[in-house]
Structure 1
Amino acid sequence: MRGLDDTDREILDLLTDDARRPYREIADRVDLSPPAVSDRVDRLRELGVIRGFTLDLNRSLLDAGRHVLVELRVRPATLEDVRSAIEVATPVEHVFTTADARIVFDATLDGRDVRDLLAETIDLDAVQEYDVRPLSSTSWTPQIGDAAFAPECVECDNTVDEEGTTARLDGELYHFCCPSCESQFTERYETLREGAAD
């Protein structure tokens, strides 16, 4: 499996700066043809490096409520469930999870307080404590730098390198460090799927 090269990183930087940038403009900057840029973007999407193209709103020009930063400390056993619920809550924009079982997110509250938002979204028994701070401004500037493509193998948790493989099963993309891991995972996946269908 081919990793990221400097041209991929430059394309990602250009798209991060403006996701609507025409492929022709990107092609001029990276010295490729527009179809070659399109092929690379398709490959990056297929690999899961690009998950989608998003809109960056200037919240200061919109009156949608109070913009706040919330930090939750939750019971470690509930971390994934709480994070998943927070991610899909309507007023939430960015969600971060820390190694010490904290979830940090920003949200725009339209007349509700944070406790109301949490009560509507998650089981409050999972929350040990929370802190809320009003935000005066935000900026989001992801940087690619010299990042390498390094997903974890879903079978053995090793880092996937150039010799790795990918497989799409029921629309979901999975990365493997070797064909053996792909085979083991796929066989188990098919067995479970067949068992669920019975």
Structure 2
Amino acid sequence: MRGLDDTDREIVRLLLADSRRPFSDIAEEVGLSAPAVSDRVDRLREMGVVRGFTLDLDRSLLRSGVPVLLEIDAEPGRATAVRDALAGADAVEHVFRTADGRVTATATVPQTEVTELLDTHVDLADVDGYEVRLVADSEWSPGLGTAEFAPECAECGNTVDEEGERTVLDGDTYYFCCGSCESRFVERYESLKEGA
């Protein structure tokens, strides 16, 4: 299984800057043909590195409320549930869960409806407390840096390198550090699927 090279990283950087940039423009920047860029983007999508191409709205140009930062202290063991609940709300743009059980989210809501947002989407029994702050401005600037492709083995948890395997089961992609892990996982998966 091939990892990321410098050309892949440059393609991702160019797509991060403008995901609608034509492959022909990207090809000129990286010294490849447009079909070769298309093949690389397809491979990056198959690998799961590129999950999709998103739209970045400038909410300051839309009348939808005020931007707020929600900082929620979740009850022990409930941070994931709070994060998942907030992620499903239309008003919420980003949600983060920290290791200490805090959930932070950015949202745009009418001035008086922050409590309603929480009441509607979050089980308040999962919340120990929360703070709301008005956001003056924000900047989202995703970057790739010198990241290497290093998924976790679905069977044993080791890091998967170029020697690893990739398998798609029922539309989901799984990575394995070796053929043995892949075999064990697929065998168990098929057995559980048959028993369901």
TM bucket, shorter chain: over 0.9
What SS does structure 2 have at the residue aligned with 1:2?
Answer: coil
In structure 2, what is the Cα distance between the partners aligned to 1:184 and 1:114?
48
What SS does structure 1 have at the residue aligned with 2:116?
Answer: helix
Question: What RMSD in Å do the two structures reach over aligned CA positions?
Answer: 1.2
Counterpart in the other structure of 2:80: 80
CA drift of 1:111 comes to 5.0
Please tell me the residue identity of whatever aligns with 2:118. L
Given that 2:12 and 2:144 are in contact with CA atoms closer than 8 Å, whether structure 1 keeps it comes out as yes
Please tell me the residue identity of whatever aligns with 2:109. L
- Please identify runs of 4+ aligned residues in structure 1 that moved more than 4 A: none
CA drift of 1:67 comes to 0.9
Figure out how many residues of one structure are paired with residues of the other and give that number: 196
Q: Runs of 5+ in structure 2 lacking a partner? A: none
Mapping for residues 5-16 of structure 1, pairs under 5 Å: 5-16=5-16
1:184 aligns with 2:184: yes
Mapping for residues 31-180 of structure 1, pairs under 5 Å: 31-110=31-110, 112-180=112-180
CA drift of 1:165 comes to 1.2
CA drift of 1:65 comes to 0.6
In structure 2, what is the Cα distance between the partners aligned to 1:75 and 1:179?
41
In structure 2, what is the Cα distance between the partners aligned to 1:111 and 1:190?
51
**Percent identity over the alignment?**
58
Deviates further, 85-94 or 11-20: 85-94
What SS does structure 2 have at the residue aligned with 1:71?
Answer: strand
Q: Runs of 5+ in structure 1 lacking a partner? A: none
Please tell me the residue identity of whatever aligns with 2:78. T
CA drift of 1:52 comes to 0.7
Given that 2:78 and 2:101 are in contact with CA atoms closer than 8 Å, whether structure 1 keeps it comes out as no
Counterpart in the other structure of 2:26: 26
For residues 39-85 of structure 1, what are the alpha-carbon distances to aligned partners after superposition, in whole Å with 9 as ceiling and x for unaligned?
Answer: 11011111111111011111111111111111111134222222222
Deviates further, 14-23 or 77-86: 77-86
What SS does structure 1 have at the residue aligned with 2:77?
Answer: helix
Query: If the length of structure 2 is used for normalisation, what is the TM-score?
Result: 0.95
